[in-house]
Amino acid sequence: MAAPSPPAPGPREKRLAAYLEGLAQAAGHRDRWQPLKNYCLGILLPGERKSVEPMAARLAPDNVQRMHQSLHHVVADAAWNDSHLLSAVWQRVWPAMKSQGPMVAWVVDDTGFPKKGQHSVGVARQYCGQVGKQDNCRVAVSLSVSTKQSSLPVAYDLYLPEIWISDKKRRSAAKVPEEIEFRTKPLIAAEQIREALQEGIPSAPVLADAAYGNDSKFRQALLDMGLDYLVGIQSTLSVWPPGMEPLKPKEWKGKGRRPKLLQRSAEHQPIRAEDQALRLPASAWKKISWRKGTKETLRSRFAAVRIRPAHRDLWSTEPWPEQWMLIEWPQNETKPTKYWLGTMPATIGLKELVALAKHRWIIERNYEELKQELGLGHFEGRGWRGFHHHATLCIAAYGFLVAERSRFSPSAYAGLLELALPKIPSGWQPRGSRSAA
C-alpha cells in the first residue's frame, strides 16, 4: 500500500513560499536561496530557541547535521548584502501596510542584547535598555517606517564602541570590515535615514528619544535633509523663550573680518527647557488622551510652546528656526517629566502633537515580538556578518507577519501560522533551551 501523500499546502503556506522566493533572489547566488528560505521558515516555526542548532532539528529532524551546516553557512559565512535584502522586504511588505493607512512616522531606536564574554562582536560594558542599566551587552541602531497600525524596520546596524575600533585583534577575529570606523548612534541613524531617502521610501516626521534628540548635529542633519522631526530632549537643554533669539553679530567697524557669529549678553541669555516649562501659566496645561492601553485609555497633562533651541548657537551665523517644545507633566508629579522638540507646522493642534510624540510606543511592540518570538537576540556566533545576517532574516520573517496582519489576519504571529512541522525525535533537546539538562 502506497504511503499517504503529504497534505497540500494551504493558502498561507503558498503566500509564505511566494514571499520567501522573492526575498531569496536578493541574496544573489542561487545556492543561497534554499538555505535562506529555510532559515526564515525556522524563525517562523514554533520553538523556544531560534539559533541554528534547534532550528536545524525542527526543519530536518532526520538529517540535523546537514541542515545545521547549511543554515550556519548562509547566516555566518555567505556574502550576501543585508541592505539589498531589507530593501526587498520593504518592497513586498509596504503595499500591504499602506492598504490600512498612510505613513505616519520614521522611528529611530536602539536595542541592547545582554551578552557575556569579550569576543562576540560589539560586546562592551554600556547602557542596555533591556536591563535598564550599564551592563555587558551589544547595541544595534534601527530605523523603522510606521503607519498608525503597524511598523517595519528598514535598516539595522550594530553600534561598535570605540574600544572595539582600536582593538585590531578583536576586530580581525570578528571579521569587522576594514572600512568600519567609529560612529555615534545618532550618526548611524542619520546615515540610515539618508539611505532610506535615496531608496525612495516615502518621507515622514522622524521620531527618536532624547539620546538622539539632544544631539544638535543629528537635528541639523534632519533639517538639511528637509525632514520634520519630533524628538525627545532633556530638561537641561538650553532654549530661547518665546519671542527671543540670540543677538545679531557685532557691528563691523570697517577693519578686519566682518563679524558673522551670533551673540549673547549678560542680560540676554537662554534658559533651560525645564525653566521655560515652569514659566507657563496653569491655563497652558491640558489633559490629553492618545490611545487605549491594555487596561484603560492613556492620558496625561501636556503643554506646547514655540521656542528656539540655543545649544551651540554662539558658533552659528543664523539662529535655529522656531520650533515646538512639547512638555508632559502628569497630574501626580511635582514637575514635568518629558520634553520633546519638534519642527511641525505652527498650526498643528496639541492633541495631534501628543499623538505623534507617543507613536514611538509601536517600536516597543516591534522589538518585543522580534526578541521574544522571532529570536532577534538568539544568534550565538561572534562575527560581524553573522550578527547582521541573523537580524536581517529575523526582520524578513517579521515582514511576512506584518503583511499577513495587514492583508488578512490580525492573528498572524510566529509559531501560530499553522505551518507544517516535521516530527522531532523524542527526547531531543537543543543547546541553550531552558528544559535542557
144 within a domain of the structure (yes/no): no
191 within a domain of the structure (yes/no): no
90 within a domain of the structure (yes/no): no
Q: What are the C-alpha distances in Å from 195 to residues 84, 159, 189, 360, 382?
A: 12, 17, 10, 21, 27
319 within a domain of the structure (yes/no): yes
Specify which residues 304 forms β-bridges with. 326
Domain holding 327, by residue range, is 229-247+261-343
Q: How many Cβ atoms are within 10 Å of 192's Cβ, its own excluded? A: 21
Q: Which of 208, 274, 291, 276 is nearest to 241 (CA)?
A: 276
Q: Count up the domains in the chain and report the number.
A: 1
**Model pLDDT, residue 270:** 93
**Model pLDDT, residue 4:** 44
267 within a domain of the structure (yes/no): yes
Of the CA atoms within 13 Å of residue 84, those in its CB half-sphere come to 10
Grid coordinates standing for 129? 535598555
Quickly list DSSP for 255-320: SSSPP-S-B--SSS--EEHHHHHHHS-GGG-EEEEEEE-SSSEEEEEEEEEEEEE-TTGGG-SSPP
102 within a domain of the structure (yes/no): no
296 within a domain of the structure (yes/no): yes
Q: Regarding beta strands 124-128 and 133-146, do their DSSP bridges make them parallel or antiparallel, or are they unpaired?
A: antiparallel
Task: State the 10-residue block means of pLDDT for the chain, 437 residues long.
Answer: 52 90 89 94 90 91 91 94 96 94 96 88 89 89 95 97 93 94 97 97 97 96 97 96 87 75 86 97 96 86 96 81 96 96 96 96 88 90 94 96 84 71 59 47
Whether pTM exceeds 0.75:
yes
Q: Which of 433, 405, 397 is nearest to 23 (CA)?
A: 397
Residue type at position 86: L
323 within a domain of the structure (yes/no): yes
**Model pLDDT, residue 91:** 96
